[in-house]
Structure 1
Amino acid sequence: MRPVSEFGRNATLLSVSTLTIMSGATISASLPDIAARFSDVPNVELLSRLVLTLPALFIAVFSPIAGLVIDRHGRKPMLVAALVFFALAGCSGLVADSLTGLLIGRAILGIAVGGIMTTGTALVGDYFAGPARDRYMGLQQAFVGIGGTIFLTGGGFLAELHWRAPFLIYALAFLLLPAALLFIREPVRTVAGQAAMPRDGLGPRRVMLLATLLAGAIFNMICFYMIPTQLPFYLKSMGLEAPSLAGMAIGLGQLVGIVASLVFARFRQAFGVMGVFALAFGSMGSAFALLSFAEGYNGILFAMAVSGIGMGTIMPNFAGAAMMIAPPHLRGRISGLLVASIFSGQFLSPILSQPAIGLNGFAATYALAGVAMLVAAFASLAARLTPRIPLRAEGGRS
């Protein structure tokens, strides 16, 4: 592949990856005004919040289906179609005249994001291997972090103009369509030589590794999502009620996460897959413990800075590990299962954490999550140090 084409391909994939964070963050600032606009609708308080969370449910449901489709029919058609539906469904909030219509648009958006994320992850597995894949995964996570910061901030400013205005941001997907059509090439594996691919599945050992990986992704998101969903309320319980304080704290974690993701490949080369999991779970567990003991805003900021190390390294590590496990003919399906696991955890997080907070309070619940993540860190370290349980990449360390 010529350098210009390769640069265009990589730039397109990186740009597409930033869209996935838009499924919720872009319109979060509009939620109060959406509730006010449809105040005559029964259960509007619940339904207006579903505008934010409903995409995650449909991402989780549709991603495995998308994985099956792209393994059988190719990557590029799914990516192009998903970009179109992403833009149309995202922008539907500009014209939807009912809360039901708004929710239908958000459900379709979730389906589109599932297609984009699943296809994007599979394409990384197709295009890259070994250290090059690790470098790309880290760079991709940095782009997601930067995109999240830009879209969250931009959505907030646009929401001050009108609650519908943030939905304009979804039209950015239309700008990526020409690049996807021009630079994304169907991997040879998906259009030729299919009959030569083995059809005997993963085998018992890889199935066990994959099941453990997917369970870890669900667990990680259940715990991690306690930060954006519960931290503002935790700060309020401490007397820190300004919304900007929560935004700055979460933003600090994102900033550290961007830096950590840029050096992910070095961590991966030095510590191996399980070593990076130990580092990421350990930093997140320590951050949650620090949150539980924080007595003021400075303590919260320090905890969030520590959490950024885990935020920036664990997601590319999950994706990289999944691609190491997946044989080429199953990359799409395994990518879909990983995406489904991530968003299942995101959807379940407030459902599980809210009752625990009601019973035990914020500090104790954060402490409990911290202990659980530290246990995961020690388990990852034990696996890293046990030669009988390797997880090897092409040319990498276990």
Structure 2
Amino acid sequence: MSDAQQDRAASERGERKAGLAQLVLLLAGICMPVLGVTIIAPVMPQMGQHFSGTPGSDILVPIVLTVPALMIGLTAPFAGFFADKVHRKRLLLIGMAAYTLAGTAPLYLDSLVAIVGSRVILGASEAMIQTCCLTLIGDYWSGKQRARYLGLNTLVAGLAGTLFIALGGLIGVSGWRAPFWLYVTPVLLIVPMAKLLWEPARSSAQAAGARLEPLSRDLIVPCVVTLFGGVVFYALIVELPFVLNGIGLTSSAAVGGISAIMALANAIGCGLFTALSGLPARVLVPLEFGGTAVGLGIVFAAGSVPVATTGAVITGFSTGLLLPTLLVWAVNRLPFAQRGRGNGWWLSALFVGEFFSSLVIAGLGAVAGGLQPALAMLAVLSVAVGGIVLLWQRRVAEPLATPAATAPSKNPASA
């Protein structure tokens, strides 16, 4: 059934139809985890100086920045379970409230250990928010429109990250605590979400509290590939400044400018996905890993800043196109009863991969003899993974964007 036919059938059944307001709210919610990391990154040195007398501060201060991502990786599957088992919208609102409370805690906490604890709670709330927002996008839209909107979330998140880093730096001149005020942002979204979002109706077999049907095994391969994709995606985000320093570029402003150019290329790749979302995964994923390998290979061979910048741009563009492809490949075909858990496991794979990216690069560097050789090894692995995906998808021959038949929704349940 085409999107238009599904919309007409929904209209005849008297269902509510999601529009721009719902899309904006869900995309804004997806930006919260990006805000959680990027807004405080510029003030990490100030925080380190403030807590310099605290034992272990050299370890705990970086953990303040990174532990939310780890917690998303660890808790997103549980968030997905409760989204399928109980209530998507209610879990989203709880996550938004918890995000505000935990995010603003460093404004009044004087213990570095307590701040780390608040960031653990923040990460769990981010898992709830992102899992529920992605799941509701899948619930509200179908077919190619669903694929476009799932892909759009990575573009919006990338652009938001660039904005939040700049905003955090500007606000940080008032002190390291000042950026934490921006964690009150969800308060502005909770009431509109409560009024404008709705819980999709469940069939009697899917009623809240009912036994969940097993999760599709088709999710395993996309999630394993996404785990590696998270490593690749984060590799140059973290390591590019060190590469540039190693070839003689020491100006932080120049390094930041090149990183911003790579981020822009990443956003362009994300934006291009909407035009390519109809292509099958067996075409897109190998090409994207191949492009990533080319970019990393150029960075490996770079002896000058322009060459390294070229490699970074190619890598950023390729990974920008890769992430929405992996997301749609994994979850677009899942039926309603599995959608929350599917999104949760996909997010877990992505964030665990991102968290361990630096450790993987360090391990490869120890074997290969340095950072740039490590990136060359990662390029080789990217080609290998792309080839494996090509061979695997030739066997199953499934299109990327064609959704599986889902149980028809009825009038939405009250919140």
Would the TM-score normalized by the shorter structure come out above 0.5?
yes
Structure 2 equivalent of residue 151 of structure 1:
164
Instruction: Check the 8 A contact 1:134/1:264 in 2, yes or no.
Output: no
Instruction: Check the 8 A contact 1:223/1:369 in 2, yes or no.
Output: yes
* 1:339 maps to 2:320: no
CA shift for structure 1 position 193: 5.0
TM-score (norm 2): 0.88
Structure 2 equivalent of residue 370 of structure 1:
379
1:334-373 C-alpha deviation (Å, 9 max, x unpaired): 1111111111111111222224334511110010001111
Instruction: Check the 8 A contact 2:277/2:400 in 1, yes or no.
Output: no
Q: Which structure's residues are more often helix, by fraction?
A: 1
* 1:8 corresponds to which of 21, 37, 52: 21
Instruction: Check the 8 A contact 1:324/1:392 in 2, yes or no.
Output: no
CA shift for structure 1 position 245: 2.7
Looking at structure 2, the residues matched to 33 and 106 of structure 1 have their Cα atoms a distance apart, in angstroms, of 18
Structure 1 equivalent of residue 245 of structure 2:
236
Counting matched residue pairs gives 389
Gaps of 5+ in 2: 1-10, 405-415
List aligned pairs for 1:70-109, cutoff 5 A. 70-109=83-122
CA shift for structure 1 position 48: 0.7
TM-score (norm 1): 0.91
Looking at structure 2, the residues matched to 105 and 316 of structure 1 have their Cα atoms a distance apart, in angstroms, of 30
For 1:117, the aligned partner's letter is Q
List aligned pairs for 1:347-358, cutoff 5 A. 347-358=355-366
1:147-176 C-alpha deviation (Å, 9 max, x unpaired): 001001111122222111111222211111
List aligned pairs for 1:373-392, cutoff 5 A. 373-384=382-393, 386=394, 388-392=395-399
For 1:194, the aligned partner's letter is Q
Structure 1 equivalent of residue 256 of structure 2:
247
Change (3 A) 1:323 1:5: closer
For 2:244, the aligned partner's letter is L
Looking at structure 2, the residues matched to 283 and 394 of structure 1 have their Cα atoms a distance apart, in angstroms, of 21
- Bigger CA drift: 37-46 or 230-239? 230-239
1:127-152 C-alpha deviation (Å, 9 max, x unpaired): 22221112112322221111001001
Gaps of 5+ in 1: none
* 1:322 maps to 2:330: yes
* 1:256 maps to 2:265: yes
Change (3 A) 1:321 1:329: same
CA shift for structure 1 position 396: 7.1
1:30-58 C-alpha deviation (Å, 9 max, x unpaired): 11111111111112111111011111121
List aligned pairs for 1:251-290, cutoff 5 A. 251-269=260-278, 271-290=279-298
* 2:321 corresponds to which of 313, 325, 329: 313
Residue 39 of structure 2 aligns to a residue whose secondary structure is helix
For 2:57, the aligned partner's letter is V
For 1:336, the aligned partner's letter is G
Instruction: Check the 8 A contact 1:254/1:311 in 2, yes or no.
Output: no
List aligned pairs for 1:101-120, cutoff 5 A. 101-120=114-133
Residue 283 of structure 2 aligns to a residue whose secondary structure is helix
CA shift for structure 1 position 200: 5.2
List aligned pairs for 1:3-152, cutoff 5 A. 6-152=19-165
Identity of aligned residues (%): 26
1:54-97 C-alpha deviation (Å, 9 max, x unpaired): 11121112111111111111100111111111122111121211
Looking at structure 1, the residues matched to 207 and 121 of structure 2 have their Cα atoms a distance apart, in angstroms, of 34
For 1:343, the aligned partner's letter is F
For 2:309, the aligned partner's letter is L
